Amino acid sequence: MHDERTMPEDDGGGEPQADRTAVEDSLASHLERQLEHLVLSGELAPGERLNEIHLAARFGTSRGPLREALRMLHAKGFVTTVRNRGMYVRAIGREEALEIYDVRAAIFGLAGRILTDKVTDDLLEHLYLALGEMDTLAAARDFDAYYRANLGFHEFLLTSTGNSSLVAQYHSLVDKLHLCRARSLVQAGGLSVSNREHREMVESLASGDKFRAQEAFFRHVERAKMRFGSTAG
């Protein structure tokens, strides 16, 4: 019964246990990641009730570690708790989503501000290259590839700040926005529009004006907020 953890019974097409080859991590942490993925992917929808017994059975564990995992998600703000009634996937409303967009904008703006003092030729070259690629993808209407490139572009900017707290906070906020039922896949809407904003961001970095950069980065997120607000209004 213990060995089921490394080699769980596959009871006729079940899909628990993603890639648990290395048992370096505690079961609770593993479950947390699994659940977080299910929540963020929408497989567990916002507002949905989280039944401990069912989930424990689904992952082939007991309720103890599962509850610990749920507590972690609770602390992260992904689920809400009602005493003696259970936990529910957090459902973020329109107003709160707009609030989060603002905080995210501020943090992204900080990224721009920090980057201004860290700009190198290599960095700029990398960024201009990425802009070119994204233009190409946008022209080819390859939404999926553009989406990935866009993600990588932002990720590169964030990590280049060297501020890991900033990166973590930013990701946390982006994740929270996934808990909004009425979230719009905004990328499909403004494609080359978005890339024009990207270019303005890079150019403001190149200019060396940290206020301009901060504002460009800030507004990039604010415009995403407005696109969200108009579609989900």
Partner DNA sequence: AGCATTCAAAGTGTCAACAGTTTTTGTTTC
Partner DNA sequence: GAAACAAAAACTGTTGACACTTTGAATGCT
With H, G, I as helix, E, B as strand and everything else as coil, classify residue 51: coil
Among candidate residues 175, 154, 164, 153, the one with its CA nearest the CA of residue 108? 154
Torsion (CA) 159, 155, 97, 30 in degrees, nearest 10? -80
Place of tokens 């899909």: 15
Instruction: Closer to DNA by CB, 69 or 173: give it.
Output: 69
Chain centroid to Cα 55, Å, comes to 24
Instruction: Closer to a copy of itself by CB, 2 or 141: give it.
Output: 2
Binding residues among 37-96 for a copy of itself as defined by CB under 8 A: 64, 67-69, 71-76, 81, 83, 96
One-letter amino acid identity for 190? Answer: G
C-beta of residue 183 within 8 angstroms of C-beta of residue 73: no
Pattern 33-72, binding to DNA, x per CB under 7 A? ----------------xxxxxx------xxxxx-x-----
Binding residues among 172-231 for a copy of itself as defined by CB under 8 A: 211, 215
Rounded Cα gap, residues 159 and 47, in angstroms = 33
Our finding on whether 6 is near DNA (CB under 7 A) is no
- Applying CB under 7 A, among 17, 27, 34, 218 the residue interacting with DNA is 27
One-letter amino acid identity for 57? Answer: A
Rounded Cα gap, residues 161 and 152, in angstroms = 14
Q: From the CB of 44, what's the least distance to DNA, in Å?
A: 13
Query: Pick from a copy of itself, DNA, none: which does 73 bind, CB < 5 to 8 A by kind?
Result: a copy of itself
- Applying CB under 7 A, among 12, 15, 21, 85 the residue interacting with DNA is 85
C-beta of residue 45 within 8 angstroms of C-beta of residue 180: no
Contacts with a copy of itself by CB under 8 A lie at: 24-26, 28-29, 32, 64, 67-69, 71-76, 81, 83, 96, 99-100, 102-103, 105-107, 109-110, 113-114, 163-166, 169, 211, 215
Contacts with DNA by CB under 7 A lie at: 1-2, 4-5, 26-28, 49-54, 61-65, 67, 81, 83-87
